[in-house]
Structure 1
Amino acid sequence: MPQVGTADASMKAPGIDACKTPARHDLMVVDWTPELRGDLEVAMKEGVAIVEFDCKSMKLSPTCSLAGTYGYIGTTRREKTVEMSTSDEVAANLPVGGLSWLSDLGGKVGRGTALAAQLVMVGKRSSPKKQAARGELTGGCETATHFVRAATVGAFVVASGSKAELEVHAKVMGKGGSAGSTSSTKIQARDGDLAACEKSTPEGTAPPAQCGAIVRIELEPIGAATAAVVPE
């Protein structure tokens, strides 16, 4: 079963301990594995996606079902760069899989190496369902904690390297180019095509081809009425 968030527990950031599982959460998914992001896209086409989330790991609940659909709403195209130059910033922005990247980088973040996520967002796939009682679920749902209320779509690229190189190569990498053979910049993750998103319009009934990658998701707790959003 696809799952992320299996990094060394000793690298856990202090803020994660304060995370409240039975609450709403707004998460970037750029640190998820490609397989998990793909499975989420499929789950959202088959019905309302159900997940198990404990603030440190995330996995889909493929045997659990919740009736419903997602509609697409186009928005003004927005671009955003999230720079993370300390391990705490990585853990705060990427609580699910970011710690695995920290492990791969060997603790270099904060000592000359940084992570940067370049995002383009063109619309949202949203369910009209605002809440779900556990009695509405069918199948194997014993460990399910949240349903995906909405997903912001577009494209993204995440790279690691020196802060100076990340600034120089950000636009090149965003267009699908290479940072160069002598550069220490490394693409950690990419989904969708940032250039393809330039064709989006707020009135669009669907995102442009290759610009429908999931960038962020909104999780709503199962069985809860209303709850305050927990800042990530």
Structure 2
Amino acid sequence: MKHPLASPLASAFALTSILAAACGGAPAIPAAGPDRASGQSTLMGKTLAGQSCDAKNHDRPFILEWDATDAAQFETLTTADVVFVKYDGCKLQVIDTCKDDSVKGSLGAYKPVSWTSGSVEKVEIGSEVDLYAKLPLGAATLGGRVSAGEKFRMEYFVSGTRAATRPAVYKTEVAKLPGCRGATHFVYAYALGAFALGSTKNIKGEITGSVWGGEAGAARTQASAAEKKGGVLSSCRGDSAKEIETCKAPIRLTLRELEEGENPDAAAARAPETPAAANLAGKVDQRINLNEKAQEHYNAALQKLNAGDGRGCIAELDKSDVADPRPNMVSSGPASWGAGTRAQCLMLSGRCAAGKVLMRKMQEAHMSTGTGPEVIDMMVDSVVEQRCTGTDGTERDRYIFAMRRVQEGVTSKKPAAFCKTHTQTAMTLMSKVTKPDDRNAMVGGGAQSLREWAAACSLKAGDCPQAWAVFRDLSAKLVASKVITGSYDAKADFGRRFAACAAEAK
């Protein structure tokens, strides 16, 4: 059966030579091809693999011409199998049908991403020699301009790399699969991050730092628009970049040729009891032990989550992912049930925004067809209420987290300072986030709920003066906003509701 993505992706990923000086004929800038049905460019199918048309010279190309659709399709292919390409002369074509759909990952898969702290790196293109040596895949669209004297600057940030589980793939393995016809290399690894490239003629002033990465010291009189982008370079910030979706775009590939001959492990599996066969059995035993080790780390992550140690939880999940790198098991993948645990740990460690993104994706991956986004939003809200301890979340996130803490103090005794701190946070944010029609009742009816909960929290903590003060102040807000109408006596109302503290209503 023809794979449903075969034609669109194979077409989209065809990187065709234009520089004819290496392949015969005169170099030329490509004519604009027809747009896709989506309205996106087809230039990705017309980029140069190298001035010499020798793939061996360029086995780690930057991907400059892929648009968001191309990148998304590539990442889809990497979820369960390694990606194969035909890399010959000036052409690079992804063979998206090269897989065994009956046995996912039979030719290898990709390990969890190895995240790095990273920094913004620069590439200066001042001549055709620079272009072909540093950015050969950009020759199709930039070659004519560079030959005319225009200079370019590229900045990139590598937030992490993802490598294959196998160091080599053998030709005899892929020869058995009709969909692999023509494959010459596989993507052994790829770098994630972001990049931006533009002409230096558009950069005003002296460049002493990053132009597009938001780095201090870029003295210029106006912002410079990048002509080519992958991800959002300004979102990449140290080791936190690993949780920022806009700094996780594939930007560079590492390619390896298919090996001659047969996979020695496959040959050993068919052999009688020999040292090679015993070695294979040892690998199987090691795999079982790794899975057990992964479970140990996952259990430790849950313990640290329940203890309130978000950073420790993430560290244990990282170890679990390394021990069992199957695509459907790694906690950073939305399809994994462990993704929900990682999302909560991110929130607990102060990275609420990143945790919400992962939690929503996990819910979308596991919810039944037809579940509306409102239901998913409510589920994410329920986790935010419990876990979003940091300040990087939205004002709404911080508000509902504070409201939930005050509510906890109604039924479980908390220190008076606890009640006061979270009440003040909620009161500060209330006017900015409350909406009568909000899906969350704490946001829709905030002032009334907070008045009751805050006073009850303080009463249970044994602080009657604080209980009356917050009840009085919030009652005044309700009267001013006309939620409470007519004649109203806050002192009498407080005394009826909180008799134990009635004497404080002075």
Length-normalised TM-score, structure 1? 0.75
Indicate whether 1:43 and 2:77 are aligned.
yes
Distance 1:93 1:54 in 2: 19
Separation of aligned partners in 1, 2:66 and 2:187 = 15
Question: Is the alpha carbon distance of 1:207 and 1:135 closer, same or farther for their aligned partners in structure 2, counting shifts above 3 Å?
Answer: farther
**Is residue 2:146 matched to residue 1:109?**
yes
Contact 1:11 1:99 survives alignment (8 Å): no
Offset of residue 222 of structure 1 = 1.0
Alignment partner, residue 73 of structure 1: 114
**Structure with the largest fraction of strand:** 1
On the 8 A contact 1:112/1:163 being kept in 2, the answer is no
Q: Percent identity?
A: 22
Equivalent-residue separation in structure 1 for 2:107 and 2:73 (angstroms): 18
Residue 32 of structure 1 deviates from its aligned partner by 3.8
Shift of residue 64 of structure 1? 1.0
Cα offset, 1:144, TM superposition: 0.7
Q: Output one character per residue of 1:118-160: Cα deviation in whole Å (capped at 9) or x when no partner.
A: 0011111111210001222233222111100011111111112
TM-score, structure 2 as length reference: 0.37
Q: Tell me, yes or no, if structure 1 residue 120 matches structure 2 residue 161.
A: no
Matched with 2:135 is 94
> Does structure 1 residue 222 correspond to structure 2 residue 261?
no
Instruction: List alignment gaps of at least 5 residues for structure 1.
Output: 226-232
CA distance in 1 between partners of 2:76 and 2:231 (Å): 15
Q: Could you tell me which amino acid in structure 2 is paired with residue 117 of structure 1?
A: M
Q: Secondary structure in 2 aligned to 1:157?
A: strand
CA displacement at 1:27 relative to structure 2: 1.5
Whether contact under 8 Å (2:118, 2:238) holds in the other structure is no
CA distance in 1, matches of 2:129, 2:69: 26
Which of the pair is proportionally richer in helix? 2
The gaps in structure 2 that reach 5 residues or longer are: 1-10, 21-25, 29-47, 100-105, 215-219, 262-506
**Structure with greater contact order relative to length (CA < 8 Å, sep ≥ 6):** 1
Q: Does 1:7 align with 2:18?
A: yes
Q: Mark the structure with the bigger radius of gyration.
A: 2
CA RMSD, 1 decimal: 3.3
Instruction: Give yes or no for contact 1:51–1:144 (8 Å, CA) kept in 2.
Output: yes
Tell me the residue number matched to 1:64: 98
Is the CA contact (8 Å cut-off) linking 1:119 and 1:155 kept in structure 2? yes
Q: 1:153 aligns with which of 187, 192, 197?
A: 192
Out of 201, 210, 214, the position equivalent to 1:171 is: 210
CA contact (8 A) 1:118 1:170 kept: no
Separation in 1 of the partners of 2:208 and 2:88?
35
Q: Deviations over 1:53-111 (max 9, x none)?
A: 12422111011126322121112313210011112211222223x122235xxx33255
Question: Could you say what secondary structure the match of 1:64 adopts?
Answer: coil
Question: Match of 1:62, as an amino acid?
Answer: D
Contact 1:114–1:161 under 8 Å retained in 2: yes
Letter of the 1:19 partner, please give it: D
1:199 Cα deviation (Å)? 5.5
> Residues 166 and 34 (structure 1 numbering): CA distance in 2 closer, same or farther, change over 3 Å?
farther
**Is 1:4–1:33's contact at 8 Å kept on the other side of the alignment?**
no
The number of equivalent residue pairs is 211
